[in-house]
A and B are shown apart, each in its own frame.
Chain A
Amino acid sequence: MIGLGVQAVLVAAGFALDWRLGLLLALWFGAWTLNAGLAEGRGPWVRRLVPAVFGITLLVLWQMAVRLFEISPVILPAPSDIWAQIIGSLPTLGADFVQTFVKGALSGYLIGCGAAVGVAILIDRSPFLQRGLLPVGNFVAALPIVGIAPIMVMWFGFDWHSKAAVVVVMVFFPVLVNMVAGLKATDSMQRDLMATYSASYGQALVKLRLPAAMPFLFNGLKIATTLALIGAIVAEFFGSPIVGMGFRITAEIGRLGLPMIWAEIAVAALAGSAFYGLVALIEKRVTFWHPSQRR
């Protein structure tokens, strides 16, 4: 990206200003040169190694910067502090995870996505309803729906039910819009074939149109995984029992317990990508026939 000469000048300037800055710059450019070299390589391992090196470099730089410049843990804790916090408070993190993810996000996700698929199949037979509901659904999908969190907390109380309700509303419209598009994905030739088999509406739905809708549906389901976790966490900012990831974040902010907040964020990130990964895995199994899944 930048020539080696420029890098050397920058590192030297860094050392001249402050040896710590020079050290960090040297490490950054060193790792970058290593990665640039690695990226030239071929093979499946390069695809994994290069981002791994980049991620580890960032972590090491973070750790060194915090230690060398003696940044207060109230502003930015070092990765090692966060790791120690994670190991030290596994039971708390586990309880928060169950409260927010399993009870709030997951139940809301299942209800919301199930309802969206059901409604999509119901309105599929009525072009009138589709023309009316889809623009409204598209409109609602663009709105800051997390804002309904205080209302849901008022209606359903502080416990996980209100979080699940927020999640239901958040995931409903993206899944609905995608599912309706998916049910339209068959072409007339395929539908004619079903008609020549004298397939009933139900048979054509199960054998042809639902499978054809799956790639679209999973697109919506994947978008919804992130929304579900965001909804459950943000809803807890508006009131929650004394357990839950969002509650822990707000409570620790009051005590400036930054390592704990970062630990919760690490758990949320892990849960989010695992959830997404799980849905992507199911997608691979269900839509193995789709061109995008072929190798």
Chain B
Amino acid sequence: MVPGRTGLGSVDGGAVVMRSIVPILTVVAVILGLWYLAAVRLNATWVYDQAARDGVTVSFAELVPMTWSQERPVLPAPHQVAKGLYDGLFGQKITSKRSLVYHGWVTLSATLLGFGFGSVAGILLAVGIVYNRAMDMSVMPWAIASQTIPILAIAPMIIVVLNSMGVTGIVPKAIISAYLSFFPVVVGMVKGLRSPDAMQLDQLRTWNAGGFDSFAKLRLPSSMPYLFASLKVGVAASLVGTIVGELPTGAVAGLGSRLLSGSYYGQTVQIWAALFAAAFVAAGLVAIIGAVERVVLKRMGMAR
């Protein structure tokens, strides 16, 4: 195995985060500062154009607040995004079409449904691959190759074809989200089920353990760290799949449709708010899996 990380490991790393809270806050503060500066720079053109049209000149001191409070800025300032996010989350009834809670739930429900089916199917296929040589040799190379191709590209097609067959709503999006989480889980779970070494397998054989016992008592427990790592990758991919799946149906509901309608009408604050809502959903999902992982591994005495 080549060493390395997928980049999803530390989202939930509580201890690490506590120790480095000051550096993280510094970096976040620097990012926010750069963001405000960039907002001035990018939105200034519009302010100067307006001023030239009205025949007035703006000083720099007047310019700065004007760039941070535009209706449709090129780059909304952080506080505008925060306000858009707050309005979207708490500013209206959650059943409203303008509520981010409503759109977030549409996206989240499809993601969870698809992720559930995708990971269960992935785990089952992984068990089949580990216990059946023909299945291993037939399917595994394709499962690995599928990780290198942009499967996401077929998402719009699936949506439209299923729509034309009369399947609408949550199901087409869930299918996309399922197949995006499927392959990472297969590959990770196979690796996990194969992680016990020959010595451990021999030990079980000396205890006269049958196939099922060695599965339930050795292979399955030792696959857990791998399973959780790939579940985190899978759930992130699921969410992206659902969001992309919401694009071609013409901006009806869901965070993806908020992105698309925002880009149609130049509502930059709406785009950024939807983007942050999606980020919170993603971070929340990964954090939940991380919390389950910590509890499970601790109960199993495998906590690192």
Q: Which residues of A contact B (CB under 8 A)?
A: 1, 32, 35-36, 38-40, 46-47, 50-51, 53-55, 74-76, 128-139, 141-144, 146-151, 153-155, 173-174, 177-178, 181-182, 185, 215-216, 218-220, 223, 225-226, 229-230, 233-234, 237-239, 245-246, 249-250, 253, 256, 258, 261-262, 264-265, 268-269, 272-273, 275-277, 290, 292
Please state if A215 and B153 are interface contacts (CB–CB under 8 Å): no
Report whether B164 and A75 are in contact in the complex, using a CB–CB cutoff of 8 Å. yes
Please provide the 9 A-B residue pairs with the shortest distance between their CB atoms, ordered closest to farther: A132-B23, A219-B4, A150-B263, A141-B7, A131-B20, A132-B27, A54-B138, A276-B148, A50-B137
A143 and B152 within 8 A (CB): no
Contact of A135 among B24, B157, B262 (CB under 8 A): B24
Main secondary structure of the interface of B (DSSP, over half): helix
The answer for the CA separation of A37 and B194 in the assembled complex, in Å, is 23
In-complex Cβ contact of A273 among B9, B145, B154, B260 (8 A): B145
B 231-273 binary contact with A (CB < 8 Å = 1; else 0): 0100010011001100110000001000110110010100110
What residues of chain A lie closer than 8 Å to B224, measured between beta carbons?
Answer: none
List 15 other contacts, CB 8 Å, given A155-B75, A177-B7, A273-B145. Answer: A36-B134, A39-B136, A50-B134, A50-B137, A138-B8, A139-B11, A142-B8, A155-B42, A215-B2, A218-B2, A229-B149, A237-B248, A250-B156, A272-B148, A275-B148
Contact A178 B132 (CB under 8 A): no
Question: At the interface, yes or no: B33 with Cβ under 8 Å from chain A?
Answer: no
- Among B48-56, B62-70, B112-120, B275-283, the stretch in contact with A: B275-283
Question: Whose C-beta in chain B lies nearest to the C-beta of A227?
Answer: B150
Residues of B within 8 A of A249 (CB): 153, 156-157
Q: Are A226 and B20 in contact (CB under 8 A)?
A: no
The answer to whether B26 has its CB under 8 Å from any CB of chain A is yes
Q: A136-B28, A137-B7, A138-B7 are in contact. Are A144 and B271 (CB under 8 A)?
A: no
Q: How far is the CA of A193 from the CA of B165 in the complex (A)?
A: 68
The yes or no answer to B19 lying at the interface (CB within 8 A) is yes
Which chain B residues border A262 with CB–CB below 8 Å? 157
Task: Decide if B5 touches A177 in the complex (CB within 8 Å).
Answer: yes
Using Cβ atoms and an 8 Å threshold, which residues of chain A touch B243? 144, 146-147
19 chain-A/chain-B pairs, Cβ below 8 angstroms: A39-B134, A51-B140, A54-B138, A74-B164, A131-B19, A133-B23, A138-B7, A142-B236, A143-B278, A144-B240, A147-B274, A150-B262, A178-B5, A234-B153, A238-B259, A256-B164, A261-B154, A269-B150, A273-B149
- CB contact between A141 and one of B8, B23, B259 (< 8 Å): that residue: B8
Nearest Cβ in chain B — how far from A129, in angstroms?
Answer: 7
**Chain B residue with Cβ nearest A239:** B263
Q: Which of A32, A139, A265 contacts B134 (CB 8 A)?
A: A32
**Assembled-state Cα–Cα distance A211/B279 (Å):** 35
* A215 and B3 contact, Cβ closer than 8 Å, known pairs A132-B23, A273-B149: yes
A215 to B244, CA, bound (A): 32
Cβ-closest chain A residue relative to B266: A154
Number of B residues, CB within 8 Å of A: 77
Minimum CB–CB distance from B212 to chain A (whole Å) comes to 17
Chain A's closest residue to B136 (CB) is: A39
B91 within 8 A of A: no
- Which of A142, A151, A216, A234 contacts B282, CB < 8 Å? A142
Please tell me if the beta carbons of A268 and B13 are within 8 angstroms of each other in the complex: no
Complex contacts, B150 vs chain A, CB 8 Å: 226, 229-230, 233, 268-269, 272
In the complex, the answer to whether A40 meets B133 with C-beta atoms within 8 Å is: yes
Does B124 make an interface contact (CB < 8 A)?
Answer: no
Nearest-neighbour CB distance to chain A for B6, whole angstroms, equals 7
Contact A265-B154, Cβ < 8 Å, known A143-B278, A144-B239, A218-B2: yes
Would you call B295 an interface residue if the criterion is a C-beta within 8 Å of the partner chain's C-beta atoms? Answer: no
Q: Which residue of A lies closest to B157 (CB)?
A: A261
Let me know if B153 and A246 touch, CB within 8 A.
Answer: yes
Distance, CA A233 to CA B139, complexed state (A)? 27
A128 to chain B, nearest CB (A): 5
Q: Tell me, rounded to whole Å, the shortest Cβ–Cβ distance linking A33 to chain B.
A: 9
Identity of the chain B residue whose Cβ is nearest the Cβ of A272 in the assembled complex = B149
Write out the residue numbers on chain A whose beta carbons fall within 8 Å of the beta carbon of B244: 146, 234, 237
Q: Which residues of chain A come closer than 8 Å to B4, judged between CB atoms? A: 178, 181-182, 215-216, 219-220
* Contact A144-B282, Cβ < 8 Å, known A54-B139, A226-B147: yes
Does the CB pair B138–A35 fall under 8 Å? yes
User: Are A135 and B13 within 8 A (Cβ)?
Assistant: yes
Contact partners of B142 in chain A: CB under 8 A: 51, 54-55
Residue of B nearest to A228 (CB): B150
Cα-based distance from A128 to B26 in the complex (angstroms):
9
Chain B positions 10-43 with a Cβ under 8 Å from a chain A Cβ: 10-11, 13, 16-17, 19-20, 22-28, 31, 42
CB-CB under 8 A from A239, the residues of chain B are 263
Query: Does B161 belong to the interface (CB within 8 Å)?
Result: yes
Report the minimum CB–CB distance from B180 to chain A (whole Å).
10
Known contacts: A36-B134, A134-B10, A146-B243. The answer to whether A273 contacts B148 by CB under 8 A is yes
| Closest A residue to B240 using CB positions | A144
User: How far apart sit A245 and B156, CA to CA, in the bound complex (Å)?
Assistant: 13
Q: Complex: how many Å from CA A246 to CA B161? A: 17
Q: Min CB distance, B118 to chain A, in Å?
A: 16
